[in-house]
């Protein structure tokens, strides 16, 4: 009978060991399921955070574009005003220059001459017409002789000779 009891005890112990192994496996599976669920949940949370970051970036970009457009619009008006101001200033300067920088040459009036004389040393490009005021001057040179044409009055001159142009 002791044999039967010890066999029963062994079977009970074996069944208890098998049952313990099954419970251990079940606990292990539950633990793995819990880990898998935690991992999946972590991935979903990370995806959600990434979506939120992307949305924040996009919102920031849109706000940046709006601010840049607002700055550009503000500068555009002052730039146009500045350009128009410069154009008006140039027109005024040209008008003043045209009205005040005119030269008129008149014939010598008979009468008393003034008590001073002005002399100029002048170089003219050969064969080209030079205009000073209303006077047109053309000069040609030929072997120490200079031919001048001043308003249609042709005259030969020697180098160094003086000529009065009224």
Q: What is the pLDDT of residues 128-151, one digit of tens each?
A: 888 887 888 888 887 878 888 888
| Whether 75 and 2 share a structural domain | yes
**CB of 18 closer than 8 Å to CB of 11:** no
Position 32 pLDDT exceeds 90? yes
| Whether 128 and 76 share a structural domain | no
What are the start-end ranges of the H helices in 2-114?
2-100
| Whether 91 and 20 share a structural domain | yes
| Whether 98 and 127 share a structural domain | no
- Please give the angle made by the CA atoms of 85, 91 and 96, to the nearest 5 degrees: 125
| Whether 91 and 128 share a structural domain | no
Q: Which two tokens stand for residue 17?
A: 């060991």
**What pLDDT band is residue 91 in, cutting at 50, 70 and 90?**
very high
What range does the domain containing 146 cover? 122-160
Q: Which two tokens stand for residue 140?
A: 């040609």
Please state the domain count of the chain. 2
In a domain, residue 92? The reply is yes
In a domain, residue 109? The reply is no
Position 99 pLDDT exceeds 60? yes
In a domain, residue 112? The reply is no
- Could you give the CA distance from residue 126 to residue 147 in angstroms, rounded to a whole number? 10
| Whether 54 and 87 share a structural domain | yes
| Whether 52 and 19 share a structural domain | yes
| C-alpha dist (Å) from residue 83 to 69, 72, 80, 89 | 21, 16, 5, 10
In a domain, residue 8? The reply is yes
pLDDT digits (tens, 9 = 90+) for 76-88: 567 788 899 999 9
How many C-beta neighbours within 10 Å does residue 62 have?
A: 10
Kind plus residue range of the DSSP H or E element containing 136: strand 135-142
In a domain, residue 111? The reply is no
């Amino acid at each position: 009978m002791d044999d039967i009891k010890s066999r029963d005890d062994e079977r009970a112990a074996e069944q208890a060991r098998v049952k313990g192994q099954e419970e251990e496996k079940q606990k292990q599976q539950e633990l793995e399921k819990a880990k898998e669920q935690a991992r999946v949940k972590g991935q979903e949370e990370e995806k959600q955070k990434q979506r939120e970051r992307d949305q924040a970036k996009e919102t920031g970009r849109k706000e940046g574009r709006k601010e840049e457009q607002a700055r550009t619009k503000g500068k555009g008006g002052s730039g146009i005003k500045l350009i128009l101001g410069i154009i008006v200033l140039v027109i005024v300067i040209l008008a003043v220059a045209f009205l005040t920088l005119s030269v008129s040459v008149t014939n010598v009036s008979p009468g008393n001459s003034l008590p001073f004389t002005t002399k100029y040393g002048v170089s003219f490009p050969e064969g080209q017409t030079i205009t000073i005021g209303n006077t047109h001057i053309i000069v040609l040179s030929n072997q120490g002789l200079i031919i001048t044409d001043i308003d249609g009055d042709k005259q030969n001159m020697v180098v160094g000779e003086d000529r009065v142009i009224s």
